[in-house]
Amino acid sequence: MLPESTPFSLWLSWMEAPQGQGFLICFLHCSFPNPFMLADLDMLASRHQAFCQALPQVSPFYAVKCNSSPWVLCVLAALGTGFDCASQVELEQVLGLGVAPSRIIYANPSKPASHIRYAARHGVQLLTFDSEEELTKVAQHHPGARLLLRLRTQDRQSTFPLSTKFGASLEACGHLLTSARDLGLAVVGASFYVGSNCQTPQSFTQAIADCRCVFEMGHGAGHDMSCLDIGGGFPGTEDSGPKVISAALAQDFPEERGVKVIAEPGRFYMESFCTAAVNIIAKKAVLEPGGSRQLMYYLNDGHYGSFRLGHRKPVPRVPIVVKVRGPLQPQESSPLP
Protein backbone atom coordinates (compact mmCIF):
# COMPACT_ATOMS: atom_id res chain seq x y z
CA MET A 1 0.00 0.00 0.00
CA LEU A 2 2.98 2.34 0.20
CA PRO A 3 3.66 4.43 -2.91
CA GLU A 4 6.92 3.64 -4.67
CA SER A 5 8.26 7.08 -3.84
CA THR A 6 7.98 6.54 -0.08
CA PRO A 7 11.19 8.08 1.18
CA PHE A 8 12.33 5.54 3.74
CA SER A 9 15.97 4.65 3.86
CA LEU A 10 15.42 1.24 5.34
CA TRP A 11 12.54 -0.94 6.34
CA LEU A 12 12.88 -3.55 9.01
CA SER A 13 10.19 -5.87 10.18
CA TRP A 14 9.70 -7.34 13.62
CA MET A 15 7.59 -10.42 13.61
CA GLU A 16 5.19 -11.42 16.37
CA ALA A 17 4.25 -8.02 17.64
CA PRO A 18 1.79 -7.63 20.51
CA GLN A 19 -1.89 -7.75 19.56
CA GLY A 20 -0.79 -10.07 16.81
CA GLN A 21 0.14 -7.26 14.47
CA GLY A 22 3.18 -7.45 12.28
CA PHE A 23 5.58 -4.81 13.41
CA LEU A 24 7.61 -2.71 11.08
CA ILE A 25 10.42 -0.34 11.87
CA CYS A 26 11.39 2.50 9.63
CA PHE A 27 14.94 3.43 10.34
CA LEU A 28 16.78 6.70 9.65
CA HIS A 29 15.79 9.64 7.43
CA CYS A 30 12.11 8.82 7.57
CA SER A 31 9.86 11.64 6.48
CA PHE A 32 6.91 10.38 8.59
CA PRO A 33 7.73 11.60 12.10
CA ASN A 34 4.87 9.76 13.80
CA PRO A 35 4.16 6.04 14.06
CA PHE A 36 1.30 4.77 11.94
CA MET A 37 -0.48 1.57 10.96
CA LEU A 38 -0.47 0.02 7.52
CA ALA A 39 -3.55 -2.00 6.61
CA ASP A 40 -3.85 -4.57 3.85
CA LEU A 41 -7.55 -4.68 2.97
CA ASP A 42 -7.07 -7.56 0.51
CA MET A 43 -5.85 -9.58 3.45
CA LEU A 44 -9.32 -9.42 5.03
CA ALA A 45 -10.86 -11.29 2.14
CA SER A 46 -8.07 -13.90 2.32
CA ARG A 47 -8.54 -14.37 6.05
CA HIS A 48 -12.30 -14.66 5.64
CA GLN A 49 -11.79 -17.29 2.99
CA ALA A 50 -9.28 -19.08 5.23
CA PHE A 51 -11.75 -19.13 8.12
CA CYS A 52 -14.60 -20.43 5.97
CA GLN A 53 -12.37 -23.12 4.50
CA ALA A 54 -10.99 -24.20 7.88
CA LEU A 55 -14.39 -24.35 9.59
CA PRO A 56 -17.06 -24.50 6.87
CA GLN A 57 -19.77 -25.46 9.36
CA VAL A 58 -19.20 -22.28 11.44
CA SER A 59 -20.47 -18.76 10.60
CA PRO A 60 -17.97 -16.07 11.62
CA PHE A 61 -19.26 -13.06 13.57
CA TYR A 62 -16.21 -10.78 13.53
CA ALA A 63 -15.30 -9.40 17.00
CA VAL A 64 -15.52 -5.64 16.45
CA LYS A 65 -13.43 -4.85 19.55
CA CYS A 66 -10.39 -6.30 17.80
CA ASN A 67 -10.31 -3.50 15.21
CA SER A 68 -13.32 -1.26 14.69
CA SER A 69 -11.92 0.84 11.87
CA PRO A 70 -14.72 1.72 9.41
CA TRP A 71 -12.71 0.21 6.54
CA VAL A 72 -12.48 -3.12 8.28
CA LEU A 73 -16.18 -3.17 9.12
CA CYS A 74 -17.20 -2.12 5.57
CA VAL A 75 -15.13 -4.82 3.91
CA LEU A 76 -16.31 -7.51 6.31
CA ALA A 77 -19.93 -6.41 5.95
CA ALA A 78 -19.56 -6.71 2.17
CA LEU A 79 -18.01 -10.15 2.58
CA GLY A 80 -21.09 -11.20 4.52
CA THR A 81 -19.69 -11.86 7.99
CA GLY A 82 -21.78 -11.36 11.08
CA PHE A 83 -20.54 -9.10 13.90
CA ASP A 84 -19.87 -9.59 17.60
CA CYS A 85 -20.48 -6.24 19.33
CA ALA A 86 -19.59 -5.59 22.95
CA SER A 87 -21.20 -2.17 23.49
CA GLN A 88 -23.71 0.34 22.15
CA VAL A 89 -20.96 2.20 20.28
CA GLU A 90 -20.05 -0.98 18.41
CA LEU A 91 -23.72 -1.73 17.72
CA GLU A 92 -24.18 1.79 16.33
CA GLN A 93 -21.13 1.41 14.10
CA VAL A 94 -22.24 -1.88 12.60
CA LEU A 95 -25.93 -0.99 12.27
CA GLY A 96 -24.83 2.31 10.71
CA LEU A 97 -23.35 0.33 7.81
CA GLY A 98 -26.76 -1.11 7.08
CA VAL A 99 -25.96 -4.55 8.50
CA ALA A 100 -29.16 -6.42 9.41
CA PRO A 101 -29.64 -6.85 13.18
CA SER A 102 -29.95 -10.60 12.61
CA ARG A 103 -26.23 -10.57 11.65
CA ILE A 104 -25.23 -9.16 15.04
CA ILE A 105 -24.64 -10.72 18.43
CA TYR A 106 -24.35 -8.43 21.45
CA ALA A 107 -21.81 -10.70 23.11
CA ASN A 108 -21.04 -9.04 26.41
CA PRO A 109 -22.44 -10.87 29.45
CA SER A 110 -22.44 -7.67 31.57
CA LYS A 111 -24.25 -4.86 29.80
CA PRO A 112 -25.51 -1.44 30.89
CA ALA A 113 -29.33 -1.26 30.92
CA SER A 114 -29.29 1.62 28.43
CA HIS A 115 -27.25 -0.42 25.93
CA ILE A 116 -29.67 -3.33 26.30
CA ARG A 117 -32.56 -0.95 25.54
CA TYR A 118 -30.67 0.31 22.49
CA ALA A 119 -30.27 -3.29 21.25
CA ALA A 120 -33.99 -3.92 21.82
CA ARG A 121 -35.01 -0.74 19.95
CA HIS A 122 -32.83 -1.65 16.97
CA GLY A 123 -33.86 -5.28 16.70
CA VAL A 124 -30.62 -6.88 17.90
CA GLN A 125 -31.98 -9.99 19.57
CA LEU A 126 -29.03 -12.29 20.18
CA LEU A 127 -27.43 -11.48 23.56
CA THR A 128 -25.18 -13.36 25.98
CA PHE A 129 -25.56 -13.60 29.76
CA ASP A 130 -23.84 -15.44 32.62
CA SER A 131 -25.69 -14.37 35.78
CA GLU A 132 -29.08 -14.01 37.37
CA GLU A 133 -28.57 -10.25 37.72
CA GLU A 134 -28.14 -9.92 33.97
CA LEU A 135 -31.28 -12.00 33.38
CA THR A 136 -33.29 -9.60 35.54
CA LYS A 137 -31.98 -6.65 33.51
CA VAL A 138 -32.74 -8.32 30.19
CA ALA A 139 -36.25 -9.33 31.34
CA GLN A 140 -36.96 -5.68 32.14
CA HIS A 141 -35.34 -4.00 29.13
CA HIS A 142 -35.37 -6.58 26.31
CA PRO A 143 -37.92 -9.30 27.05
CA GLY A 144 -37.87 -10.47 23.42
CA ALA A 145 -34.14 -11.25 23.48
CA ARG A 146 -32.77 -14.60 22.33
CA LEU A 147 -30.13 -15.49 24.91
CA LEU A 148 -26.95 -17.52 24.84
CA LEU A 149 -25.64 -18.72 28.21
CA ARG A 150 -21.91 -17.98 28.38
CA LEU A 151 -19.87 -20.73 30.01
CA ARG A 152 -16.59 -20.40 31.88
CA THR A 153 -13.66 -22.13 30.15
CA GLN A 154 -10.18 -23.36 30.92
CA ASP A 155 -8.21 -20.52 29.32
CA ARG A 156 -4.99 -20.27 31.34
CA GLN A 157 -2.85 -21.06 28.28
CA SER A 158 -4.24 -18.14 26.30
CA THR A 159 -2.49 -14.81 25.80
CA PHE A 160 -5.51 -12.97 27.17
CA PRO A 161 -7.68 -15.14 29.43
CA LEU A 162 -11.06 -13.77 30.55
CA SER A 163 -12.71 -16.61 32.45
CA THR A 164 -12.15 -15.05 35.86
CA LYS A 165 -14.30 -12.18 34.61
CA PHE A 166 -16.93 -13.82 32.39
CA GLY A 167 -18.71 -17.13 32.14
CA ALA A 168 -20.93 -19.24 34.40
CA SER A 169 -19.69 -22.50 35.86
CA LEU A 170 -21.37 -25.65 34.58
CA GLU A 171 -22.84 -26.19 38.05
CA ALA A 172 -24.59 -22.81 37.94
CA CYS A 173 -26.19 -23.39 34.53
CA GLY A 174 -29.19 -25.47 35.63
CA HIS A 175 -30.36 -22.73 37.97
CA LEU A 176 -29.74 -19.96 35.41
CA LEU A 177 -31.74 -21.83 32.78
CA THR A 178 -34.77 -22.27 35.05
CA SER A 179 -34.52 -18.66 36.23
CA ALA A 180 -34.58 -17.51 32.60
CA ARG A 181 -37.65 -19.66 31.93
CA ASP A 182 -39.41 -18.34 35.05
CA LEU A 183 -38.73 -14.78 33.87
CA GLY A 184 -40.27 -15.65 30.48
CA LEU A 185 -36.93 -15.34 28.65
CA ALA A 186 -35.85 -17.52 25.72
CA VAL A 187 -32.44 -19.14 26.02
CA VAL A 188 -31.54 -20.38 22.55
CA GLY A 189 -28.07 -21.78 23.14
CA ALA A 190 -24.67 -21.48 24.76
CA SER A 191 -21.44 -19.61 24.15
CA PHE A 192 -17.89 -19.55 25.48
CA TYR A 193 -14.56 -17.83 24.94
CA VAL A 194 -11.29 -19.73 25.36
CA GLY A 195 -9.18 -16.56 25.63
CA SER A 196 -7.20 -14.83 22.93
CA ASN A 197 -4.54 -16.68 20.98
CA CYS A 198 -5.54 -20.02 22.48
CA GLN A 199 -2.62 -22.43 22.23
CA THR A 200 -4.52 -25.47 23.46
CA PRO A 201 -7.25 -26.51 21.01
CA GLN A 202 -8.34 -29.02 23.66
CA SER A 203 -9.84 -26.04 25.49
CA PHE A 204 -12.36 -25.85 22.63
CA THR A 205 -13.02 -29.59 22.91
CA GLN A 206 -13.79 -29.32 26.62
CA ALA A 207 -15.92 -26.20 26.18
CA ILE A 208 -17.91 -27.75 23.33
CA ALA A 209 -18.56 -30.85 25.47
CA ASP A 210 -19.69 -28.58 28.33
CA CYS A 211 -22.03 -26.77 25.94
CA ARG A 212 -23.59 -30.07 24.99
CA CYS A 213 -24.45 -30.56 28.69
CA VAL A 214 -25.92 -27.04 28.77
CA PHE A 215 -28.02 -27.85 25.71
CA GLU A 216 -29.41 -30.93 27.48
CA MET A 217 -30.15 -28.92 30.62
CA GLY A 218 -31.74 -26.21 28.46
CA HIS A 219 -34.02 -28.68 26.68
CA GLY A 220 -34.95 -30.09 30.10
CA ALA A 221 -35.92 -26.58 31.24
CA GLY A 222 -38.11 -26.12 28.15
CA HIS A 223 -35.81 -23.91 26.07
CA ASP A 224 -35.41 -24.39 22.32
CA MET A 225 -31.62 -24.73 22.15
CA SER A 226 -30.54 -24.13 18.57
CA CYS A 227 -27.39 -21.95 18.52
CA LEU A 228 -23.83 -22.67 19.66
CA ASP A 229 -21.31 -19.83 19.78
CA ILE A 230 -17.72 -21.06 20.01
CA GLY A 231 -16.34 -17.53 20.56
CA GLY A 232 -12.95 -16.28 19.43
CA GLY A 233 -9.42 -17.17 20.47
CA PHE A 234 -8.24 -18.63 17.16
CA PRO A 235 -4.54 -17.88 16.64
CA GLY A 236 -3.73 -15.74 13.62
CA THR A 237 -1.42 -18.38 12.21
CA GLU A 238 -2.41 -21.78 10.93
CA ASP A 239 -2.51 -24.44 13.63
CA SER A 240 -4.24 -27.69 14.48
CA GLY A 241 -7.20 -25.83 16.02
CA PRO A 242 -9.72 -26.23 13.18
CA LYS A 243 -9.20 -30.01 12.99
CA VAL A 244 -9.68 -30.41 16.72
CA ILE A 245 -12.70 -28.09 16.75
CA SER A 246 -14.31 -29.88 13.79
CA ALA A 247 -13.85 -33.22 15.52
CA ALA A 248 -15.41 -31.88 18.73
CA LEU A 249 -18.36 -30.41 16.82
CA ALA A 250 -18.89 -33.67 14.92
CA GLN A 251 -18.88 -35.51 18.24
CA ASP A 252 -21.14 -33.25 20.30
CA PHE A 253 -23.11 -31.24 17.72
CA PRO A 254 -23.36 -33.41 14.60
CA GLU A 255 -24.93 -31.60 11.66
CA GLU A 256 -28.14 -33.65 11.79
CA ARG A 257 -28.99 -31.99 15.10
CA GLY A 258 -29.53 -28.78 13.12
CA VAL A 259 -27.72 -26.52 15.59
CA LYS A 260 -26.44 -23.28 14.06
CA VAL A 261 -22.78 -22.81 14.98
CA ILE A 262 -21.25 -19.35 15.05
CA ALA A 263 -17.85 -17.99 16.15
CA GLU A 264 -16.41 -14.60 17.10
CA PRO A 265 -12.94 -14.46 15.55
CA GLY A 266 -10.94 -11.27 15.96
CA ARG A 267 -7.21 -11.96 15.94
CA PHE A 268 -7.65 -14.58 13.19
CA TYR A 269 -8.74 -11.82 10.80
CA MET A 270 -6.46 -9.10 12.12
CA GLU A 271 -3.06 -10.68 12.79
CA SER A 272 -1.77 -10.32 9.26
CA PHE A 273 -3.90 -7.29 8.45
CA CYS A 274 -2.09 -4.55 10.35
CA THR A 275 1.54 -3.57 10.47
CA ALA A 276 2.78 -0.90 12.83
CA ALA A 277 5.32 1.45 11.25
CA VAL A 278 7.55 3.14 13.78
CA ASN A 279 10.78 5.11 13.74
CA ILE A 280 13.95 4.60 15.66
CA ILE A 281 14.26 8.04 17.16
CA ALA A 282 17.41 7.61 19.25
CA LYS A 283 20.17 5.17 20.06
CA LYS A 284 22.49 4.85 23.01
CA ALA A 285 25.61 2.79 23.66
CA VAL A 286 25.67 1.03 27.03
CA LEU A 287 28.43 -1.02 28.64
CA GLU A 288 27.31 -4.45 29.83
CA PRO A 289 28.76 -5.85 33.14
CA GLY A 290 31.27 -7.99 31.18
CA GLY A 291 32.55 -4.89 29.37
CA SER A 292 30.82 -5.53 26.05
CA ARG A 293 29.21 -2.58 24.31
CA GLN A 294 25.52 -2.80 23.42
CA LEU A 295 23.42 -0.38 21.43
CA MET A 296 19.94 0.44 22.68
CA TYR A 297 17.38 1.71 20.18
CA TYR A 298 14.44 3.91 21.11
CA LEU A 299 11.18 3.81 19.11
CA ASN A 300 8.47 6.40 18.83
CA ASP A 301 5.77 3.91 19.89
CA GLY A 302 5.76 1.51 22.80
CA HIS A 303 4.05 -0.19 25.71
CA TYR A 304 1.82 2.77 26.43
CA GLY A 305 0.81 3.03 22.77
CA SER A 306 0.22 0.34 20.14
CA PHE A 307 2.03 -2.33 22.13
CA ARG A 308 0.11 -2.11 25.36
CA LEU A 309 -1.02 -5.75 25.38
CA GLY A 310 2.64 -6.67 25.60
CA HIS A 311 2.40 -5.93 29.33
CA ARG A 312 0.76 -9.31 29.87
CA LYS A 313 3.14 -11.56 28.00
CA PRO A 314 6.09 -9.97 26.23
CA VAL A 315 6.79 -11.63 22.90
CA PRO A 316 10.42 -11.96 21.75
CA ARG A 317 10.96 -10.19 18.44
CA VAL A 318 13.57 -10.53 15.75
CA PRO A 319 14.16 -7.63 13.36
CA ILE A 320 14.39 -8.56 9.69
CA VAL A 321 15.32 -6.22 6.88
CA VAL A 322 12.53 -6.26 4.33
CA LYS A 323 13.29 -3.27 2.16
CA VAL A 324 16.31 -1.09 1.59
CA ARG A 325 16.32 2.40 0.12
CA GLY A 326 18.91 5.13 0.00
CA PRO A 327 22.57 4.88 0.84
CA LEU A 328 22.46 2.21 3.58
CA GLN A 329 22.92 -1.34 2.28
CA PRO A 330 22.69 -3.79 5.19
CA GLN A 331 22.59 -7.54 4.65
CA GLU A 332 19.20 -9.14 4.20
CA SER A 333 17.89 -10.33 7.60
CA SER A 334 20.88 -8.85 9.36
CA PRO A 335 20.50 -7.82 13.00
CA LEU A 336 20.42 -4.13 13.79
CA PRO A 337 23.90 -2.56 13.56
Ligand X SMILES: Cc1ncc(COP(=O)(O)O)c(C=O)c1O
Q: How far apart are CA 169 and CA 145, in angstroms?
A: 22
Nearer to ligand X, 77 or 262 (CB): 262
Q: How far apart are CA 229 and CA 79, in angstroms?
A: 20
Three-point CA angle 96, 102, 106, nearest 5°: 75
Closest approach, Cβ 109 to ligand X, in A, equals 8
Nearer to ligand X, 125 or 279 (CB): 125
Closest approach, Cβ 227 to ligand X, in A, equals 15
H/E run at residue 49: helix 41-54
Nearer to ligand X, 148 or 217 (CB): 148
Handedness of CA 86, 87, 90, 91 (dihedral sign): positive
Closest CA to 187 of 219, 142, 141, 229: 219
Nearer to ligand X, 10 or 155 (CB): 155
Nearer to ligand X, 9 or 199 (CB): 199
Closest approach, Cβ 19 to ligand X, in A, equals 9
Q: How far apart are CA 50 and CA 250, in angstroms?
A: 20
Closest approach, Cβ 314 to ligand X, in A, equals 18
* Parallel, antiparallel or unpaired: strands 274-287 and 293-299: antiparallel
Nearer to ligand X, 252 or 264 (CB): 264
Closest approach, Cβ 320 to ligand X, in A, equals 25
Closest approach, Cβ 325 to ligand X, in A, equals 34
Q: How far apart are CA 5 and CA 9, in angstroms?
A: 11
Nearer to ligand X, 234 or 273 (CB): 234
Closest approach, Cβ 270 to ligand X, in A, equals 7
Closest CA to 94 of 116, 121, 61: 61
Write out 250-285 in H/E/C secondary structure.
HHHCCHHHCCEEEECCCHHHHCCCEEEEEEEEEEEE
Handedness of CA 317, 268, 148, 219 (dihedral sign): negative
Closest CA to 164 of 174, 172, 173, 154: 154
Nearer to ligand X, 6 or 199 (CB): 199
Helices assigned H by DSSP within 124-192: 132-141, 170-182
Q: How far apart are CA 273 and CA 283, in angstroms?
A: 29
Cα–Cα distances (Å) from 114 to 110, 124, 236, 330, in that order, read: 12, 14, 34, 57
Chain residues in the site for ligand X (CB under 6 A)? 63, 65-66, 84, 107, 162, 193, 196, 231-234, 264-268
Nearer to ligand X, 110 or 206 (CB): 110
Closest approach, Cβ 16 to ligand X, in A, equals 15
Closest approach, Cβ 33 to ligand X, in A, equals 31
